[in-house]
């Protein structure tokens, strides 16, 4: 891979990061990893608060999540090696090594200085890179002309690997000026998994004061056990498991866990994103309706067998959009007032049809009633040509050029006249009419 350096002189741009466009966060995310991988601006609230735990940091703050409880990696660049000794007779690069941590979708930019030997033409300098990991892009932006050269390097990852078995790094990449042996080393690592140790809350109330809350999970202090560290294992003397049954004859912990000190400890699923929950492990976050091969249509989260839809979605499988813009008719009424908008589509009252119920193919009585008057008033032809003023004075007609210019609010009429022309028109003003718009297209 080689890139010719552009001749730009924008020093300030060297230190200005380029941020990816904001993407929606998956509010139905059930883990920190899933959340941070759903978009470059998505943060995870490490403390359950009864509301969404995956959103932008600002939205989480408004929902009551404290800053110390948010996990929102932004990536970083660290200088690993920065020797400054040179005798001026050979190419010299500074710094010599960087550690680059990338949050996918967030670009990291940093400058490198290139001191070129006097005999080397500066403007012919080209930068080569060694093999770059798939999905990672390295580009060279603006420069400051002269000697030394100041070059902006930008590194960005498109997304996290789709498989958990694929490595997140580190990978070594070398940037080398063409024709020289010296290079700058980049150690690139993707931030696709949460490392929430920095957000550890010791003796957290969410852990009954007997454990530390880390990434939303309790790490209990001995001898306490349980999902919320609620049980003292040293005081477990009773073998009675009745408190772990939802009914006298029901299975212990719904056959999904074991009874520990009178509380159900739910078993772990092979898929870490799937889990059982509830007092008797009776609930799961994966046994919900599917739509388009995705649980809750990908538009909500599964809670105890029921989909809790994201904002703007409804139905038991979150398949129904509550967006109504596609149902808005030309009269600024949903479905032209002739139906209801369901899941972004008009359900028209008979006999109306069309995307916004604008057509009425069976309304032949209305069309035929005004056909002759529309023709004579608009074009001076038809069976009422000689009696147009007396018979059709009730109707004011506007003539337009094309069918598409005829409003369809009250339905679109179509007829062929004796001249083998097709008339398109619509009439408004109640059963007796009053105003009409018409267009004529002739094909002979």
Q: pLDDT grade, residue 159 (50/70/90)?
A: confident
Identify the pLDDT of residue 236.
Answer: 55
Q: pLDDT grade, residue 305 (50/70/90)?
A: confident
What separation in angstroms does the CA of 258 have from each of 250, 261, 327, 378?
Answer: 13, 10, 52, 84
Identify the pLDDT of residue 363.
Answer: 63
Q: pLDDT grade, residue 8 (50/70/90)?
A: very low
Q: Which helix (H) or strand (E) holds 36?
A: helix 32-36
Mean pLDDT of 233-256: 78
* Cβ–Cβ under 8 Å, residues 440 and 403: no
Q: Which of 194, 229, 168 is nearest to 70 (CA)?
A: 194
Identify the pLDDT of residue 19.
Answer: 34
Least confident of 121-130, 183-192, 336-345, 393-402: 121-130
Residue 444 scores a pLDDT above 70: no
Structural domains of the chain in order of their starting residue, each with its CATH number: 1-193 (2.60.40.1510), 290-321 (2.10.25.10), 364-442 (4.10.1240.30)
Identify the pLDDT of residue 2.
Answer: 43
Mean pLDDT of 127-155: 86
Residue 367 scores a pLDDT above 90: no
Mean pLDDT of 256-270: 86
Residue 45 scores a pLDDT above 80: yes
| DSSP structural state of residue 408 | -
Higher pLDDT, 329 or 360: 329
Identify the pLDDT of residue 362.
Answer: 65
Identify the pLDDT of residue 232.
Answer: 75
Q: Mean of the per-residue pLDDT values for the chain?
A: 82
Higher pLDDT, 193 or 100: 100
Identify the pLDDT of residue 164.
Answer: 56
| Cα(194)–Cα(30) distance, integer angstroms | 13
* Cβ–Cβ under 8 Å, residues 178 and 2: yes
Q: pLDDT grade, residue 255 (50/70/90)?
A: very high
Question: Highest-confidence range of 87-101, 109-123, 235-249, by mean pLDDT?
Answer: 87-101
Rounded to two decimals, what is the model's pTM? 0.46
* Cβ–Cβ under 8 Å, residues 173 and 186: yes
Residue 27 scores a pLDDT above 70: yes
Higher pLDDT, 123 or 197: 123
Q: pLDDT grade, residue 442 (50/70/90)?
A: confident
Higher pLDDT, 300 or 69: 300
Mean pLDDT of 287-304: 90
What separation in angstroms does the CA of 277 have from each of 45, 195, 247?
Answer: 19, 24, 17
Residue 291 scores a pLDDT above 60: yes
Mean pLDDT of 204-213: 83
Residue 77 scores a pLDDT above 50: yes
Least confident of 75-84, 102-111, 360-369, 413-422: 360-369
Identify the pLDDT of residue 439.
Answer: 94
Higher pLDDT, 216 or 152: 152
Q: pLDDT grade, residue 6 (50/70/90)?
A: very low
| Cα(165)–Cα(169) distance, integer angstroms | 12
Residue 177 scores a pLDDT above 60: yes
| Residue 25 φ then ψ, to 5° | -85, 145
Longest dimension (CA), the chain: 107
* Cβ–Cβ under 8 Å, residues 93 and 185: no
């Amino acid at each position: 891979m080689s890139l010719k350096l552009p001749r730009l002189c924008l020093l300030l741009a060297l230190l200005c990061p380029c941020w990816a466009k904001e993407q929606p966060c998956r509010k139905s995310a059930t883990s920190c990893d899933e959340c941070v991988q759903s978009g470059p601006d998505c943060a995870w609230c490490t403390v359950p608060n009864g509301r969404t735990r995956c959103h932008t940091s600002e939205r989480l703050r408004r929902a009551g999540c404290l800053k110390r409880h948010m996990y929102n990696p932004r990536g970083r660049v660290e200088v690993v090696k920065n020797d400054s000794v040179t005798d001026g007779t050979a190419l010299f690069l500074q710094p010599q090594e960087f550690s680059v941590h990338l949050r996918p979708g967030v670009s990291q930019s940093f400058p490198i200085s290139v001191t070129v030997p006097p005999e080397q033409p500066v403007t012919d300098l080209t930068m080569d890179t060694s093999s770059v990991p798939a999905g990672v892009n390295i580009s060279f932006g603006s420069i400051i002309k002269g000697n030394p050269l100041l070059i902006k390097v930008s590194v960005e990852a498109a997304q996290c690997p789709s498989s958990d078995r694929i490595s997140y790094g580190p990978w070594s990449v070398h940037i080398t000026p063409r024709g020289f042996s010296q290079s700058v080393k980049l150690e690139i690592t993707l931030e696709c998994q949460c490392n929430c140790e920095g957000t550890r809350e010791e003796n957290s109330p969410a852990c009954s004061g007997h454990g530390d809350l880390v990434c939303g999970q309790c790490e209990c202090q001995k001898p306490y056990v349980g999902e919320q560290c609620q049980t003292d294992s040293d005081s477990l003397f009773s073998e009675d498991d009745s408190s772990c049954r939802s009914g006298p004859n029901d299975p212990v912990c719904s056959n999904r866990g074991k009874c520990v000190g009178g509380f159900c400890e739910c078993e772990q699923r092979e898929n870490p994103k799937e889990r059982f929950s509830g007092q008797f492990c009776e609930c799961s976050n994966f046994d919900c309706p599917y739509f388009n091969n995705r649980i809750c249509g990908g538009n909500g989260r599964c809670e105890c067998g029921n989909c809790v839809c994201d904002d703007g979605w409804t139905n038991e499988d979150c398949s129904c959009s509550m967006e109504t813009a596609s149902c808005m008719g030309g009269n600024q009424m949903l479905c032209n007032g002739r139906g209801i908008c369901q899941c972004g589509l008009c359900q028209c009252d008979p006999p109306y049809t069309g995307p916004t119920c604008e057509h009425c193919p069976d309304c032949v009585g209305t069309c035929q009633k005004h056909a002759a008057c529309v023709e004579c008033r608009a074009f001076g032809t038809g069976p009422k040509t000689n009696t147009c003023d007396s018979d059709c004075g009730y109707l004011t007609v506007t003539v337009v050029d094309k069918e598409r210019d005829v409003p369809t609010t009250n339905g679109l009429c179509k007829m062929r006249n004796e001249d083998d022309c097709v008339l398109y028109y619509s009439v408004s003003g109640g059963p007796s009419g009053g105003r009409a718009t018409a267009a004529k297209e002739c094909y002979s």
